[in-house]
Amino acid sequence: MLTILALVLMSLTPPKTIGVMGAMEVELELLSRDMVVERDDTIAGTVYEMGSLYGVSCVVVQGGVGKVGAAQTAQTLITEYDVDAIIFTGVAGGINPQLNIGDIVISKNLVHHDLGQILPDRFIPFDTLGFFADSLLVDLALQAAEIVVLESIPEEIRGEEDIPKIILGRIATGDQFISSEAKRLWIEETFHADCVEMEGAAVAQVCTVNEIPFVIIRSLSDLANEEADVDFQSFVIYASKNSSLLVKEIFRLLAR
C-alpha cells in the first residue's frame, strides 16, 4: 500500500517550483537563511527570490500584510512563476480557547470573517465553509508535524506543556488585527475557527480558482484578546520561527 508521503511525492514530483509566502520579513527570515538564492525579481514593488530549499525549487516572497497584497502576490506566483503549489507561513491570533501562544494550526479550510452583509443589528457572513486546503499537502504537513523539533514554549507563558501543539484546523481571515475578547468570541462562535490572521483565505481563494494546491501554516503569536498587541510584540519572532521550522520539515520530506 502506498504511504501518504509516497502519494504526495507522486502528486508533486518532480516539483517544478513551490511558492512560499509570508506577510512579514520575520516570518520568512529562517527560511531565507537556508535557501540557495539564484536570482530575484521585483514586480509591483514586491521582491520574488528564486532558488532552492534543500534541493527543492522554490520562489520565496514577502507579500505584505492584508488580503489585497496576499491575493496579488499569490496570483503573480501562479501566473509569472508557474508554481506547482503554494505554502504560506506566518503567525496568527488564537481563537480556539484550547490553544496557546506558540501552538500551530495547519489549515484544513479557511474563511473570510469580514466578508458579508452588515445589518442594523447584526453581521451575516456570506460563507462559513470557505476554501479547503489540498489534502495531500495537508497530509505532508501532518507527517512533518510528527518529526519536527520545535522551539520550547517561553518560560514566562509556559504551562503544563513544554512543546507547542500542532493541530489541523480552520483559519479565519480578515483585514483586521484582532485585539478584542468580544470579537475573538464572535469569530469562535460564528466560524468555529481555531485562529485568525490577515492573508490566508485570500491566498486560498486565488489558489482555488486557479486549481493550485495550497496549505497555510500558522503559529500563534497572541490570543486575539486585549493583550494581543503586547503579546504580538513579545512573541512574533518565536511564533514565526516555529512556523518556519514546520515548513522546513515539509521541504525536507519533499527533498527525500
pLDDT exceeds 50 at position 2: no
Pick the CATH number of 16-255 from 3.40.50.720, 3.10.450.50, 3.30.1390.20, 3.40.50.1580: 3.40.50.1580
* 207, 214 contact by CB (below 8 A): yes
Rounded mean pLDDT of 48-73? 97
For the chain, the domains span 16-255
pLDDT of amino acid 1: 38
pLDDT exceeds 90 at position 7: no
46-53 vs 36-43, strand pairing mode:
antiparallel
To the query of whether residue 27 is one of the catalytic residues in this protein, the response is: yes
Rounded to 5°, the CA angle 203-190-71 comes to 10
Q: Whole-angstrom Cα distance, residue 232 to residue 23?
A: 14
For the chain, what percent of residues have pLDDT higher than 90?
A: 88
Query: What's this model's pTM, rounded to 2 decimal places?
Result: 0.92
pLDDT exceeds 60 at position 12: no
pLDDT in tens, 186-219: 999 999 999 999 999 999 999 999 999 999 999 9
* CA nearest to 46, candidates 26, 79, 21, 13: 21
* Catalytic site residue from 139, 188, 199, 222: 222
Q: Whole-angstrom Cα distance, residue 20 to residue 39?
A: 15
Host H or E run for residue 214: strand 214-222
* β partners of residue 109: 132, 170
pLDDT exceeds 90 at position 3: no
* Catalytic site residue from 27, 103, 134, 197: 27
Please give, one letter per residue, the 3-state secondary structure of 196-208. EECCHHHHHHHHH
pLDDT exceeds 60 at position 8: no
To the query of whether residue 189 is one of the catalytic residues in this protein, the response is: no
How far apart, in Å, are the Cα atoms of 21 and each of 11, 146, 221? 21, 23, 18
Q: Which of 13-22, 100-109, 192-201, 246-255 has the lowest mean pLDDT?
A: 13-22
Q: What is the DSSP string of 63-128?
A: --SSHHHHHHHHHHHHHHH--SEEEEEEEEEE-STT--TT-EEEEEEEEETT-EEE-SS-EEES-S
pLDDT in tens, 82-137: 999 999 999 999 999 999 999 999 999 999 999 999 999 999 999 888 999 999 99
pLDDT of amino acid 155: 85
